Amino acid sequence: MARFADSEYGKLIRNQFKDIQGSSELAMLAAPSKEELEQLEKAVAIMTPAEKENTNNLADEQIQRIAVDAKIDPGNLAIFINGFTLHCKRK
């Protein structure tokens, strides 16, 4: 995921997935901004080993608590967690 953070290619991807409001939540999974990537790193750094092992089973309340504890945007964390869960279920 970090490979395309704030790169020209990542910006191209984000622009392709913008909605009519200029938001690109889906694209952040493939090409997060530097800030979004830093937020995800903060969240993962404070997660317990059990939370990391069972990320796809975290409840909304747990995701919100992690976001608050990490002082990051809970919406962004939820998007990353949901994207990770979908990716795991696809395998």
User: How many C-beta atoms surround the C-beta of residue 17 within 10 A?
Assistant: 15
Query: Using an 8 Å Cβ cutoff, are 80 and 44 in contact?
Result: no
Instruction: Output the pTM of the full model.
Output: 0.76
DSSP state of 71: T
State how many domains the chain has: 1
29-86 pLDDT, tens digit each: 777 888 889 999 999 999 999 999 999 899 999 999 999 999 999 999 998 998 888 8
Q: What is the CA radius of gyration of the chain?
A: 13
- Containing structural domain, residue 59: 2-90
Query: Using an 8 Å Cβ cutoff, are 1 and 30 in contact?
Result: yes
Torsion of CA 41, 43, 46, 50, to 10 degrees: -110
